[in-house]
Chains A and B, each alone.
Chain A
Amino acid sequence: MSRRISPVIPGFGLTLGYTLVYLSLIVLIPLAAMFVHAAQLTWDQFWAIITAPRVLAALQLSFGTAFVAAIINGVIGTVLAWVLVRYTFPGRKVIDAMIDLPFALPTAVAGIALTALYAPNGWIGQFANDLGFKIAYTPMGITLALTFVTLPFVVRTVQPVLADIPREIEEAAACLGAKPLQVFRYILVPALLPAWLTGFALAFARGVGEYGSVIFIAGNMPFKTEILPLLIMVKLDQYDYTGATAIGVMMLVVSFILLLIINLIQRRIEKP
């Protein structure tokens, strides 16, 4: 509690105290309860649970699909942000507003809508079916649902940074003979990278934990399309509380690490 910026402004003790108490009651103590519950296990038992083949398969699936979805969003989201910032065209405002739809739409609604679209008898799924592949009930369907749910993150982190880049720099570079690719490589990428990484990490973290939209479209096959959050549910429904908490603890540790990374990136942005 050292170094206040401004001793004139009151309320430090009150607000910090309230923040800590609230956060502890709502978030920290309940999460600690999970650790305490998992602590009934020895390290070996814990390790055995989280390295069981079915858990590993779910782990790989959850992280794999979330990663691919975040990459897809990393590319498409950047393009969308670019289009929205740099061009004016009819409907720009509508698209800009609707980018947040996946965030505002309840995930269960997204789940049934995407399933209705991509199931083998759905509007889009039937074409895929004719071409001989399935989207719903495969990892592709999961990736699709995660891409939908996490779409806003990259767009919304990249967009403001892109808008703040003075266009004169690019123009100057172009005047000095830089090719478009060079402008991209040496001016845009360094400027956008921190924001992009933040958006990517947010999308990834959200994707790993996502449940509502995925369960409808996943097919939920152990070893194939069973995501980690579903596996926690399955373990619970088998009265396997320790198994569920062990997986929960592992996921929590991973999300905490991800968040730390995000915050480190953001601190680097703040202090260039």
Chain B
Amino acid sequence: MSSSTQSASSVANAARRGSPLSRRLLIGFGWLFFTLFLLLPLLIVVSQGLKMGVGTFFDAILEPDALSALKLTIIAVVISVPLNVVFGVSAAWCVSKYSFRGKSILVTLIDLPFSVSPVIAGLVYVLMFGAQGFFGPWLQDHDIQIVFALPGIVLATIFVTVPFVARELIPLMQEQGTQEEEAARLLGANGWQMFWHVTVPNIKWGLIYGVVLCTARAMGEFGAVSVVSGHIRGVTNTLPLHVEILYNEYNHVAAFAVATLLLIMALFILLLKQWSESRINRLRASAAEE
């Protein structure tokens, strides 16, 4: 998409077409929109976070409640992302390598969490595992706590991030087809060997891309987690919930300081994404050349 030959030809092309005015206008619009709509929110987060100086900023993000929120967010990500990776690979495998009846319904169901309101994602777990829910009495008898504790937060996070890895892998694996795997099988590889030595290297970058998206969403989820968290300070608050709490505590500066931390994490994720995306494009380009 962004290979140098293309951009060179686009320059030549634009010159040929000779409409510098509309070109400039459109680029100007792109910049203006970018500045007003994407850059300004960034700047306000950072500037509000640093309003009282760097010392206050670090106090806010190193305070025990913030650290335990960070810890919880990381735990939720570390549990939910690998589970969704295994699911994503498995779902992409059966959807892209075989054809069977009901496939399009399966694909729709995989996508479903994406368009379900996060609030509903939280609500359904309360209806299942809350004290008044279907399994509530049984869970209470066995002293198992799911909602308002780590399991509930992880479940809600998994729910909202289910589609991401699968969604990235399905088109990639469909494009690649099945010849390489078939060849491996015919050369005597068993299923796992074929998977590890042929499939995984082929989908590696798509997988990383999916993981990056999944991590971004898992780290930032608010609505679903808010329903099942219980908001116990230092115990069941994730970072985004901690931002809300600080915001509600007149602690404007601290709220934006923690928001800045999340922002930095988001920018880091964008970098990773950009990197994995460029690798995918390079692979595609070289595949096309072959």
Contacts and interface: CB of A to CB of B under 8 A. Distances in A.
Given A15-B93, A83-B30, A259-B112, A109 B45 contact: yes
B136 to A, nearest CB: 11
A105 B94 contact: no
Contacts of B90: 14-15, 18-19, 22
Contacts of B91: 15, 19, 23
Given A5-B178, A28-B109, A230-B119, 5 more contacts: A1-B100, A6-B182, A19-B87, A33-B127, A97-B273
B93 A11 contact: yes
B134 A33 contact: yes
A9 interface: yes
B157 to A, nearest CB: 11
A84 B29 CA distance: 12
20 contacts: A30-B128, A79-B29, A97-B271, A98-B34, A108-B259, A109-B45, A109-B259, A113-B44, A123-B44, A163-B1, A171-B13, A209-B116, A209-B117, A210-B223, A251-B120, A252-B116, A255-B112, A255-B117, A259-B111, A263-B108
Contact of B42 (A1, A37, A101, A245): A101
Contacts of B243: 106, 108-109, 112
The CB with the most chain A CB atoms within 10 A, among B1, B16, B134, is that of B1
B37 A148 contact: yes
A159 B2 CA distance: 11
B118 interface: yes
Q: DSSP majority for the A interface?
A: helix
B70 interface: no
A95 interface: yes
B116 to A, nearest CB: 6
Interface stretch (B57-65, B137-145, B213-221): B213-221
Contact of A33 (B116, B128, B159, B217): B128
Contacts of A83: 26-27, 29-30
A33 B115 contact: no
A103 interface: yes
> Can you list the 3 inter-chain pairs with the closest CB atoms, starting with the nearest?
A106-B220, A209-B117, A212-B222
Contacts of A2: 100-101
A151 B118 CA distance: 18
Contact of B99 (A3, A95, A109, A212): A3
Interface of A: 1-6, 8-12, 14-16, 18-20, 22-23, 26-31, 33-34, 36-37, 76, 79-80, 82-89, 91, 93, 95-110, 112-114, 116-117, 122-124, 147-148, 151, 159-160, 163, 167, 171, 174, 180, 202, 205-206, 208-212, 216, 228-230, 232-233, 236, 241, 244-245, 248, 251-252, 255-256, 258-260, 262-263, 267
In terms of DSSP, what is the predominant structure of the interface of chain B? Answer: helix
B11 interface: yes
B240 interface: yes
A233 B227 contact: yes
B261 to A, nearest CB: 10
Given A98-B34, A159-B1, A259-B112, A109 B123 contact: no
A4 B99 contact: yes
Given A31-B124, A205-B114, A241-B127, A104 B269 contact: yes
B167 to A, nearest CB: 11
Given A6-B182, A86-B10, A105-B262, A112 B256 contact: yes
Interface residues of B, number: 106
B115 A212 contact: no
A55 B26 CA distance: 41
B97 A6 contact: yes
B126 to A, nearest CB: 8
Contacts of B270: 97-98, 100-101, 104
Contacts of A160: 1
B116 A93 contact: no
B286 interface: no
